[in-house]
Amino acid sequence: MTDIGIGIIGGGYMGKAHSVAFSAVGAVFGTALRPRLEMIAALSPASAERYRKAFGFRRAAKDWAALVADPAVQAVVIASPPDTHLDITRAAAALGKPVFCEKPLGASVEDARAMTDVVEAAGVINMIGFNYIRTPASQFARRLVAEGAIGDVTWFRGEHTEDFYANPTAPASWRTSGDGNGTMGDLAPHMINAALALIGPINSVMAEIETVHSDRDGVSVTNDDQAQMMCRFSNGAMGHLFFSRIATGRKMGYIYEITGTKGAIRFNQEDQNALWLYKAEGPEAERGFRQILTGPAHPDYEPFCLGPGHGTGYQDQIIIEARDFLEAIDTGQSKWPTFRDGLAVSEIVAAARASQATGRWVSV
């Protein structure tokens, strides 16, 4: 058991989540590498110091560059806004340090490509933060589909819907401008990643992206409120994706439904400890979607609790991520999902924007 110095950039929503995750991951998974909360950086030395104290880091950095350069920081976690992702990645890669980056991979598909190139060229361990796919339920769904439990997939429907901007009178903010902060930049990547992970590559898309409330308190909104796309997977399955930040009533609508020739799967992150499975077998009179409660029989559940149905939560997904990142560093092998997997998502987002611009199907 060796320890490793972790540096986290950003102390907001995700900076905190990763701080907690690296605090807990050793005890949960008994990892070979034990993280040491070495350093945290934020927008100013003062805010970094505040986060340091709150989350229990040894030191606060004066800025992210100092953090990346610090020799005691042996792995870098990027939890700052999308437009900082590329520069930080470049700096870390130049020093050969492993990088974990929050989604989306960068502020644009170009950034994402550059980030992927740079980590691959440098040969550094890299990972992107698609946490929702890591619940025991969704990991199990991937396994079921891969093993053919529902036969050949004919249809996939996914959505990522929340309602934090549903109120038309909510004022504009940094979230209402910038491609990376709109629905396509902020929410879509999680579900696109899920679609790719569950079903496989997407060949082509036909999308609609729109700003429903274009004026908030007299300020123009310059990014999107909701978007949908029809898509075709390379295995032939038909698909549909929907994303919204104005989906009144939906709090964490990371929802998917997969239809196969022998069965079907349904999942809703709002009830993340249940996976619904239908199998077209046994007597007709006894068939139905069954609500499987996650437990030790499902991937990555047991380290959190020995009892089935006792449930894991949001924070536990980030702990699973931390485990994988540490294992990747320990073994010297990047683990899924890497920057390349993040790039694949960004390319679909870009194709959707192109489709929106032309009103036509676009190949990925």
Window 99 to 138, contacts with its own copies (CB under 8 A): none
Taking the CA atoms of 229, 233, 238 and 242 in sequence, report the sign of the dihedral they define: negative
DSSP state of 12: S
Under rule CB under 6 A, how many of the chain's residues touch ligand NAI? 22
Q: Is 156 in the site for ligand NAI (CB under 6 A)?
A: no
Task: Evaluate whether 88 touches 115 at the Cβ level (below 8 Å).
Answer: no
CB of 339 to its own copies, least distance (A): 25
DSSP state of 99: E
198 binds, among ligand NAI, its own copies, none (CB under 5 to 8 A by kind): none
Before 71, cis peptide (omega within 30)? Answer: no
Q: Is 202 in the site for ligand NAI (CB under 6 A)?
A: no
Task: Evaluate whether 210 touches 225 at the Cβ level (below 8 Å).
Answer: yes
Residue list 227-266, contact with its own copies (CB under 8 A): 228, 230, 238, 240, 242, 244, 246-253, 259-264
Residue list 180-199, contact with ligand NAI (CB under 6 A): 186
Q: 140, 156, 267, 325: which one contacts its own copies (CB under 8 A)?
A: 140
CB of 46 to ligand NAI, least distance (A): 10
Residue 9 or residue 329: which is nearer to ligand NAI going by CB? 9
Task: Evaluate whether 198 touches 145 at the Cβ level (below 8 Å).
Answer: yes
Side by side, which strands form the sheet with 75-78? 59-60, 33-41, 2-9, 75-78, 99-102, 126-129
Distance (Å, rounded) from C-alpha 169 to C-alpha 147?
A: 48
Q: Is 138 in the site for ligand NAI (CB under 6 A)?
A: no
Task: Evaluate whether 62 touches 46 at the Cβ level (below 8 Å).
Answer: no
47 binds, among its own copies, ligand NAI, none (CB under 5 to 8 A by kind): ligand NAI
Residue 22 or residue 233: which is nearer to ligand NAI going by CB? 22
Q: Is 359 in the site for its own copies (CB under 8 A)?
A: yes
Do β-strands 202-210 and 153-161 pair in parallel, antiparallel, or remain unpaired?
Answer: unpaired
Do β-strands 215-216 and 219-220 pair in parallel, antiparallel, or remain unpaired?
Answer: antiparallel
Residue list 76-115, contact with ligand NAI (CB under 6 A): 79-82, 84, 102-103
Task: Evaluate whether 112 touches 348 at the Cβ level (below 8 Å).
Answer: no
CB of 321 to ligand NAI, least distance (A): 9
Residue type, 89: T
Before 308, cis peptide (omega within 30)? Answer: no
Q: Is 131 in the site for ligand NAI (CB under 6 A)?
A: yes
State the binding string over 3-32 for ligand NAI (x if CB under 6 A, else -). Answer: ------xxxxxxx-----------------
Residue list 312-331, contact with its own copies (CB under 8 A): 312-316
Distance (Å, rounded) from C-alpha 312 to C-alpha 271?
A: 10
Q: Is 210 in the site for its own copies (CB under 8 A)?
A: yes
Contact positions toward ligand NAI, by CB under 6 A?
9-15, 41-43, 47, 64, 79-82, 84, 102-103, 129, 131, 186
